[in-house]
């Protein structure tokens, strides 16, 4: 079968999964909705592998295949088709997405086992995977925007999955509103680009760009505007500063959702976008600089916030934000293969970390705060092992995959020279911070004295909360529909969870082997046909900087682990002392714990004025102008007019007769005048 | 006398009847004035029939008389019914079909 | 000779008409109309419409007016004439009535003027003539206006008109009977069990609200 047929199959299976689960859930027995969902994504993964094999059957110059299903609106000035583009980049993305998604679906079967919204969950999750695949397989801007919007919608549905919790619904709304801002940027950016290229197809756009649609210089006005607006879309979806405030709140969703959407797939859509649009970005270095700076700023700020958070899922969320900062920085400076490689490895270890976090949250019966966790090492050995693997990968310790990918990004950044050295330095500072906060989390949760829940688990039965509470606000909640189920799953007791986590751990460890610098270039070679026209694609890292970079990365990772050990394990009161007694420490801690006050800034700058404008519009414009003047005025006029006319129907027969006679006289008079 | 005189008389009778219909309040009298108007028309018809020399006008006058008889029957029946229901027999009072 | 008769009859007609409009007592109005009708019959005779004149006297003045007399006797002339609270209303209650009085008279006067202008200023030469002439020897000379003549016309040219007029009389008769039916006071009409043909095809009460709310239908 041709690669594009495999491509359509990749899209078909999750769509079928959604439809079957959504419409048939009443008739599906037991927990089969979960198995159907998982099978759908597994089939999609198989189809993705098929697409890979079929694609590699072509010569490298002919690996960009477009297949159109039907013409949606091909008319004067516009060409919108329902078509997919199968090329190395999209195959790379669909493999990552379907691979990680299959494992997360498997994990969810156990995790959401007692939840009453089980079928709804899998319908939403399949819909999400379908949307993400649509996004990465789209071959024109229209389908990209459609996929983008669907992904945002799926994210909203899944974040507010436990919809009777006000915190969850509020988080869902926040995520969706910020996503919409990104959508607006995306659509406007498309317009600016379409204005010059007059085609919606990607390949056509790139061809037109090469042929001079934006001139032959760089930084043409419309192109920069378009690329910056595309970046706005990318930042909203990938949670970069300043549109990042939704990601920590999105942790209100179930943990597998956080693992899939907010670690491995949806937040990488921005990275994919920049990589896909690289011919445009290469002609607009100003936009590339914006992206690089935003990525660097995010990775630093998110790293510092991660140091101060106490909710385990939020620590991992900020770490995601930080790592995506690396990826954005990477693809903005031209390190496409490196950035995408980091995307793949990050998907593995971040999904693994979230799954493990779900396991320990289950052991704590829904409690998510690190302050209440401790000493789970003996009670949850498998989870501990997964955390270690994921944490080491995240910290960039060799031979784990994170080491190779992260350092590759930084290497290429350093190669560019000039002001990019600042990004290089920031990148390594970020790596240091990453190691610290990651292992702060691991040590606080697993080392030290076991908390009562851990002791219960060691004793053999998991802890159950008597009154289930909302982990964020502490309010009591019941376990009816719209809330989590009454029991929680832990990895040690659920085989599907262990299989999923195990496979991801293997990936986290071994994925780095495909792209060891100077040794093998699997990812580079695979992606080359897409990026053939990129300016810095060929890796020509000088040996000197290579060695320095690799050693520095390793050392910083290990140093971070050691520092975390010293502060949180060896000398337990150190953190508290730093926070409270060192003056700089107190100020910094306040800043980090309040997330650099971005939420408050948004609230003051945007939320309050818009709410005030809405109140004004409702009171003055709608009430006074529309209701009273326009509608009331019109009806009043009609009522008055009809009251005036109604006076002619007064019921007096004589009056009617008189009018008759008068009428006849009038008509007669008229005819008399005529003669 | 020439036909014109008869037509003049007919016009006078007709307009007198019209004034009576508008001015009187007793429905019985209103009906009577209605009869007046019909008779004025009849006179005109007969005059024209004489003028043209064929009997069409007379036939029509007969038919008009028939119709007048029917209408009187119904009208008086209604007045009797109104009187039976103790309603005031006054066209100004009977004005429920208003608004 | 015919002119003298014409003027006498014409004065009778107009006096009767004015009497109908102006007299207060409805009984007197009826009598005035009778006078008017008889004078009108004389005018008809002058116009060589013998049969119509006879019908006018016998049917119109004889039957219809007698009916009127009966009804006036039953309903009463207390309509506008008697005193009491109706007395004040005699003067025309409110602006509508007095306005009507004036306006009605004016409208009627305007109508009269126009009609006169129309009729007398007409271009039809025949109006100023004395009617169609009938040369001696023609059948119309003898038979115009006779019952035979009318009958012939009714049964040949105006047969449809004749039949429809009969039908109208039948309808009016039925209507009169229905209207004057005696009912038992002003109470609500008693429920009478009316059977319609459709009741034979479906149960009673089908499609009613009581069936809709589940109550057992009779």
pTM of this structure: 0.70
Q: Which residues of B touch A649 (CB under 8 A)?
A: 98-99
Nearest CA in chain A to B16: A661
Residue of higher predicted confidence among B73 and A481: B73
CB pairs under 8 A between A and C: 35
Structure confidence at residue C87 (pLDDT): 40
Nearest CA in chain A to C104: A658
Q: Which residues of A touch B94 (CB under 8 A)?
A: 653
Query: In this complex, do B7 and C120 lie within 8 Å of one another by their Cβ atoms?
Result: yes
What are the residue boundaries of the structural domains of chain A, listed by start?
330-462+491-591, 620-674
Of A254, A263, A250, A239, the residue nearest A96 (C-alpha): A263
Whether C155 and chain B come into contact, CB under 8 Å, resolves to no
Query: In this complex, do A672 and C108 lie within 8 Å of one another by their Cβ atoms?
Result: no
Nearest CA in chain A to B96: A651
Calculate mean pLDDT across residues A588-614.
87
Domain of residue B46: give its range.
Answer: 3-98
Query: In this complex, do A649 and B95 lie within 8 Å of one another by their Cβ atoms?
Result: no
Q: Which residues of C touch A673 (CB under 8 A)?
A: none
Count how many domains chain B has.
Answer: 1
Chains with ≥3 Cβ pairs under 8 A against C? A, B
pLDDT tens for residues A210-230? Answer: 888 888 877 888 899 999 999
Of A659, B97, B31, the residue nearest C79 (C-alpha): B31
Chains with ≥3 Cβ pairs under 8 A against B? A, C
pLDDT tens for residues A447-475? Answer: 888 888 777 777 777 777 766 777 777 77
Contact A414, A420 (CB under 8 A): yes
Calculate mean pLDDT across residues A308-326.
91
CB pairs under 8 A between B and C: 252
Nearest CA in chain B to A659: B22
CA dihedral C11→C14→C15→C19, nearest 10 degrees, is 170
Structure confidence at residue C83 (pLDDT): 35
Structure confidence at residue C86 (pLDDT): 41
Query: In this complex, do C179 and B86 lie within 8 Å of one another by their Cβ atoms?
Result: no
Maximum distance among all Cα pairs of chain B, rounded to whole angstroms: 52
Q: Which residues of A touch C108 (CB under 8 A)?
A: 661
Q: How confident is the model at residue A14 (pLDDT cuts 50, 70, 90)?
A: very high
pLDDT tens for residues B14-66? Answer: 999 999 998 888 899 999 999 999 999 999 999 999 888 888 899 999 999 99
Query: In this complex, do A658 and C107 lie within 8 Å of one another by their Cβ atoms?
Result: yes
Query: In this complex, do A649 and B92 lie within 8 Å of one another by their Cβ atoms?
Result: no
**Lookup: tokens for A382:** 């498998």
Q: Chain-wide mean pLDDT for chain A?
A: 86
When CB atoms are compared, the residue of A646, A654, A661 closest to B91 is: A654
Structure confidence at residue A41 (pLDDT): 95
Buried b (16+ CB within 10 A) or exposed e, A322-357: bbbbbbbbbbbbbbbbbbbbbbbbbbbbbbbbbbbb
Contact A391, A343 (CB under 8 A): no
CA–CA dist C197, C202 (Å, integer): 10
Nearest CA in chain C to A651: C96
Of A623, A602, A244, A243, the residue nearest A611 (C-alpha): A602
Query: In this complex, do A661 and B18 lie within 8 Å of one another by their Cβ atoms?
Result: yes
Q: Could you tell me which residues come within 8 angstroms of residue A215 by beta carbon, excluding any fewer than 6 positions away?
A: none
Q: Which residues of A touch C103 (CB under 8 A)?
A: 658, 662
- Tell me the shortest Cα–Cα distance from C76 to chain A, in angstroms: 21
Q: Which residues of C touch B98 (CB under 8 A)?
A: none
CA dihedral A442→A445→A447→A448, nearest 10 degrees, is 140
When CB atoms are compared, the residue of B16, B73, B83 closest to C75 is: B83
Structure confidence at residue A585 (pLDDT): 79
Of A365, A386, A337, A374, the residue nearest A534 (C-alpha): A337
Q: Which residues of B touch C76 (CB under 8 A)?
A: 83, 89
Neighbours of C58 (CB within 10 A): 11
User: In this structure, what CATH number is given to the domain that contains residue B17?
Assistant: 1.10.287.3510
Query: In this complex, do C100 and A650 lie within 8 Å of one another by their Cβ atoms?
Result: no
Please list the ranges in chain C whose pLDDT falls under 70. Answer: 77-97, 133-142, 182-195, 198-199, 203-205, 216-218
Lowest mean pLDDT among A521-530, A533-542, C122-131: A533-542
Structure confidence at residue A176 (pLDDT): 93
Q: Is the pLDDT of residue A74 over 80?
A: yes
pLDDT tens for residues A642-671? Answer: 888 887 777 778 888 888 888 888 898 898
- Tell me the shortest Cα–Cα distance from A652 to chain C, in angstroms: 9
Percentage of residues of chain A with pLDDT beyond 70: 96
Query: In this complex, do A646 and B96 lie within 8 Å of one another by their Cβ atoms?
Result: no
Query: In this complex, do C107 and A652 lie within 8 Å of one another by their Cβ atoms?
Result: no
Query: In this complex, do A665 and C100 lie within 8 Å of one another by their Cβ atoms?
Result: no
Residue of higher predicted confidence among A509 and C130: A509
Which of A639, A646, A654 would you mutate first to test chain B, the one with the most B CBs within 10 A? A654
When CB atoms are compared, the residue of C96, C126, C183 closest to B3 is: C126
**Which chain C residues have any C-beta within 8 angstroms of a chain A C-beta?**
96-97, 100, 103-104, 107-108, 110-111, 114-115, 117-118
Contact A426, A296 (CB under 8 A): yes
Whether C31 and chain B come into contact, CB under 8 Å, resolves to no
Q: Is the pLDDT of residue A607 over 70?
A: yes
Query: In this complex, do C100 and A655 lie within 8 Å of one another by their Cβ atoms?
Result: yes
Structure confidence at residue A190 (pLDDT): 94
When CB atoms are compared, the residue of B22, B30, B98 closest to A650 is: B98
Nearest CA in chain A to B22: A654
Contact A213, A196 (CB under 8 A): yes
**Which chain A residues have any C-beta within 8 angstroms of a chain C C-beta?**
650, 652, 654-655, 657-658, 661-662, 664-665, 668-669, 671-672
Structure confidence at residue A532 (pLDDT): 77
**Lookup: tokens for A333:** 């400076």
């Amino acid at each position: 079968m041709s690669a594009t047929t495999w491509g359509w199959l990749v899209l078909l299976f999750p769509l079928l999964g959604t439809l079957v689960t959504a419409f048939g859930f009443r008739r599906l027995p037991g927990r089969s909705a979960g198995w159907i969902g998982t099978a759908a994504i597994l089939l999609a993964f198989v189809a993705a592998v098929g697409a890979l094999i079929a694609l590699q059957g072509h010569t490298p110059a002919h690996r960009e295949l477009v297949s159109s299903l039907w013409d949606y609106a091909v008319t004067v000035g516009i060409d919108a088709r329902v078509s997919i583009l199968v090329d190395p980049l999209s195959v790379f993305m669909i493999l990552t997405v379907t691979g990680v998604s299959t494992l997360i679906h498997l994990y969810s079967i156990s995790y959401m086992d007692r939840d009453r919204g089980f079928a709804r969950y899998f319908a939403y999750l399949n819909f999400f995977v379908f949307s993400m695949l649509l996004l990465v397989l789209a071959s024109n801007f229209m389908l990209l925007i459609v996929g983008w919007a669907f992904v945002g919608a799926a994210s909203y549905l899944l974040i507010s999955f436990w919809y009777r919790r006000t915190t969850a619904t509020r988080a869902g709304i926040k995520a969706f509103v910020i996503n919409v801002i990104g959508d607006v940027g995306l659509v406007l950016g498309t317009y600016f680009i379409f204005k010059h290229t007059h085609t919606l197809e990607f390949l056509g756009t790139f061809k037109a760009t090469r042929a001079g649609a934006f001139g032959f210089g760089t930084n043409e006005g419309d192109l920069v505007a378009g690329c910056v607006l595309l970046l706005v879309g990318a930042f909203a979806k990938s949670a970069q500063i300043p549109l990042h405030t939704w990601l920590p709140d999105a942790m209100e969703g179930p943990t597998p959702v956080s693992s899939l959407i907010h670690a491995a797939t949806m937040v990488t859509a921005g990275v994919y976008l920049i990589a896909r649009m690289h011919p445009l970005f290469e002609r607009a270095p100003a936009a590339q600089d914006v992206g690089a700076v935003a990525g660097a700023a995010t990775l630093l700020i998110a790293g510092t916030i991660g140091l101060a958070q106490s909710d385990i899922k939020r620590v991992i969320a900020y770490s995601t934000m930080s790592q995506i900062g690396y990826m954005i920085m990477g693809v903005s400076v031209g390190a496409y293969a490196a950035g995408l490689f980091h995307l793949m490895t990050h998907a593995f270890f971040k999904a693994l970390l979230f799954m493990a976090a779900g396991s320990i949250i289950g052991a704590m019966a829904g409690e998510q705060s690190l302050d209440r966790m401790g000493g789970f090492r003996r009670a949850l050995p498998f989870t501990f092992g997964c955390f270690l693997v994921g944490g080491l990968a995240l910290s960039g310790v060799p031979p784990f995959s994170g080491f190779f990918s992260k350092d590759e990004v930084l290497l290429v950044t350093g190669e560019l020279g000039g002001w990019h050295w600042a990004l290089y330095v920031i990148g390594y500072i970020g790596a240091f911070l990453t190691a610290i906060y990651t292992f702060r989390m691991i040590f606080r949760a697993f080392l030290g004295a076991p908390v009562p829940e851990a002791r219960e688990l060691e004793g053999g039965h998991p802890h159950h909360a008597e009154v289930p509470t909302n982990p964020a606000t502490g309010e009591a909640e019941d376990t009816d529909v719209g809330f989590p189920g009454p029991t929680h799953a832990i990895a040690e007791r659920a085989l599907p969870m262990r299989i999923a986590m195990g496979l991801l751990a293997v990936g986290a460890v071994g994925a780095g082997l495909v792209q060891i610098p100077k040794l093998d270039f699997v990812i580079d070679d695979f992606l080359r046909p897409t990026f053939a026209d990129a300016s810095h694609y060929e890796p020509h890292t000088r040996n000197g900087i290579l060695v320095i970079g690799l050693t520095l990365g390793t050392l910083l990772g290990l140093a971070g682990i050691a520092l975390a050990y010293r502060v949180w394990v060896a000398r337990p009161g150190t953190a508290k002392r730093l926070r409270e007694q060192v003056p700089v420490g107190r100020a910094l801690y306040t800043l980090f714990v309040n997330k650099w006050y971005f939420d408050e800034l948004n609230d003051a700058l945007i939320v309050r004025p818009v709410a005030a404008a809405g109140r004004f519009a409702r009171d003055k414009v709608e009430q006074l102008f529309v209701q009273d003047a326009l509608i009331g005025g019109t009806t009043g006029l009609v009522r008055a007019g009809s009251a005036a006319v109604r006076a002619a129907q007064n019921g007096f027969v004589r009056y009617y007769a008189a009018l008759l006679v008068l009428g006849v006289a009038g008509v007669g008079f008229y005819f008399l005048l005529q003669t | 006398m020439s036909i014109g005189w008869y037509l003049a008389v007919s016009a006078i009778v007709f307009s007198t009847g019209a004034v009576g219909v508008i001015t009187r309040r007793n429905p019985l009298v209103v009906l009577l004035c209605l009869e007046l108007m019909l008779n004025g028309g009849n006179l005109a018809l007969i005059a024209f029939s004489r003028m043209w020399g064929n009997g069409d006008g007379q036939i029509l006058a007969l038919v008009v008389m028939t119709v007048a008889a029917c209408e009187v029957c119904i009208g008086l029946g209604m007045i009797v019914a109104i009187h039976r229901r103790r309603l005031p027999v006054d066209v100004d009072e009977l004005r429920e079909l208003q608004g | 000779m015919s002119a003298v008769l014409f003027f006498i009859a014409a004065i009778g007609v107009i006096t009767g008409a004015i009497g109908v409009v102006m007299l207060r007592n409805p009984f007197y109005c009826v009598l005035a109309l009778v006078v008017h009708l008889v004078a009108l019959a004389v005018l008809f005779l002058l116009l060589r419409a013998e049969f119509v004149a006879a019908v006018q006297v016998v049917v119109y003045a004889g039957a219809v007016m007698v009916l009127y007399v009966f009804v006036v006797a039953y309903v009463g002339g207390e309509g506008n004439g008697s005193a009491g609270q109706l007395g004040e209303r005699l003067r025309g209650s409110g602006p509508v009535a007095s306005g009507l009085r004036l306006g009605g008279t004016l409208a009627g006067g305007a109508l009269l003027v126009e009609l006169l202008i129309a009729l007398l200023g007409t271009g039809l030469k025949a109006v100023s003539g004395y009617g169609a002439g009938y040369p001696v020897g023609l059948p119309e000379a003898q038979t115009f206006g006779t019952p035979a003549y009318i009958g012939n016309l009714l049964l040949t040219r105006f047969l449809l008109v004749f039949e429809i007029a009969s039908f109208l009389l039948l309808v009016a008769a039925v209507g009169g009977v229905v209207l004057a039916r005696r009912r038992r006071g002003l109470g609500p009409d008693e429920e009478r069990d009316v059977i319609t043909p459709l009741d034979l095809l479906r149960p009673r009460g089908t499609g009613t609200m009581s069936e809709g709310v589940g109550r057992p239908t009779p």
